[in-house]
Amino acid sequence: MSWGFLRDLLSGVNKYSTGLGRIWLAIVFLFRLLVYVVAAEHVWKDEQKEFECNIKQPGCENVCFDHFFPVSQVRLWALQLIMVSTPSLLVVLHVAYRENREKRHGAKLYKNPGSMDGGLLCTYLISLLSKTGFEIGFLFLFYKLYGGFSVPRLVKCDMSPCPNTVDCYISKPTEKKVFLYIVLVTSCLCIVLNITEFSYLIFKYSIKCCFRRYIKKVQDS
C-alpha cells in the first residue's frame, strides 16, 4: 500500500494546526504511520498461512481462522489510520476555498486564509470531533471483534467442519500483542490531545468574544 497521499495530507495540514495539533500530527506520523509501514505489515505477513491447527481436516483451519480473525488486525489498523487522518482534509479544503475566493474577487477578503477564525475555526472543530469519534469507534470495534487487545498463543475451535474441538496456534502472538498495545496507547493519547485541543480552542474563542464585548461596552459608554 502506498501511503504517499496520507503523508502529503498530514504535511499540508501541519501549517494550519495549533501547537497541540502539531503534536497530534507527530504522533500519527512517527508512532502510527511509520511503525505500521516499517514493522507492523511484516509482523502480520502471511498470518493465515502461519495459523496452524492440530488437525488436517480440509476447511477446518480456514473456518477457525475466519472465526477468530473476522477482519485482519493490520488491515483494520490501516483503515483506522486513514479514517482518523482524512478529517484534516476538511481544513485544507477550507483554506483552499478561501484562497480561491480571494482570487475570484481580486481582493483581500481575509487577514490570512489560514487564520483560525470564523468558518475555518468551525471546520477545524468539526475535524477534531470527527477524529475523536473515529478513534473511539475503532477502539470499540477492535475490542468487540477480538475480545480485547490481547493475542492468545492458543485458541480452541469447534466450528464445523472440524470433527471436534481442536487446538489452533497463532504465530508471533507476543509481537502482535506489542503492536496492538501501540494501537491502544497511541489512540488514547490522540483522543486526549484532540479533546484538549478542542477545549483549548473553545476557551480561547470564548475569552476573545468576551474581551470584544467588553471593549465595545467600554467604547459605547
**pLDDT score at 173:** 87
Q: Give the Cβ contact number of residue 66 at 10 Å.
A: 12
Query: Nearest Cα to 113, choosing from 131, 93, 130?
Result: 93
- Burial-class residue 127 by CB neighbours within 10 Å (0-12, 13-18, 19+): buried
Cis amide leading into 87 (omega within 30): no
State the pTM of this model. 0.83
| pLDDT at site 3 | 56
Burial (Cβ within 10 Å: 0-12, 13-18, ≥19) of residue 131: buried
The helix or strand, by DSSP H or E, that contains position 14, with its residue range, turns out to be: helix 4-14
State the DSSP H helix or E strand holding residue 167, giving kind and residue range, or none if neither: strand 166-169
Residue 7: predicted pLDDT? 60
| pLDDT the model gives residue 136 | 95
pLDDT for 9: 61
The stretches in the chain having pLDDT less than 70 are 1-14, 112-114, 220-221
